[in-house]
Amino acid sequence: MKWNVPESFVGFQRFGISLRLIVAGKRAGLPCGTLIGVPIPKEFAAAGVLVENAIQRALQECSVTGKEVTPFLLKRVNELTQGKSLSSSTAPIFFALLFAQILH
């Protein structure tokens, strides 16, 4: 499978190194996991101030409790940012899917 990856994905040039590290650990039978942090690409990154302001406003408006809090906050922040927060939070899923496909 060929992946179309935007060139602006910061750190993607080190993807091969990360992948080799994971594979080497698995082959060596090391009882550990690997955590890889990848910054959100510019084209998916929402303005930090916009998202932070939306989060603060959503927290003030929140009138639910328990398991209803997270869905309310996600929905309200998405509304307040006109979808910009959603696109920035889904970009890392691309990398998770990419790694899963390769390591499968």
Nearest to 77 by CA among 101, 99, 47: 47
pLDDT of 8 over the 60 cut: no
- What are the boundaries of each domain within the chain? 12-103
- Reference 41, options 68, 74, 6; nearest CA is 6
Tokens of residue 37, six digits: 């942090």
Distance (Å) of CA 68 to CA 38, 59, 72, 74, 79:
29, 13, 6, 10, 17
CA–CA dist 7, 11 (Å, integer): 10
In the chain, % of residues over pLDDT 70: 59
The confidence score (pLDDT) of residue 61 equals 97
Residue 54 neighbours by CB distance under 10 Å: 21
pTM of the model as a whole: 0.51
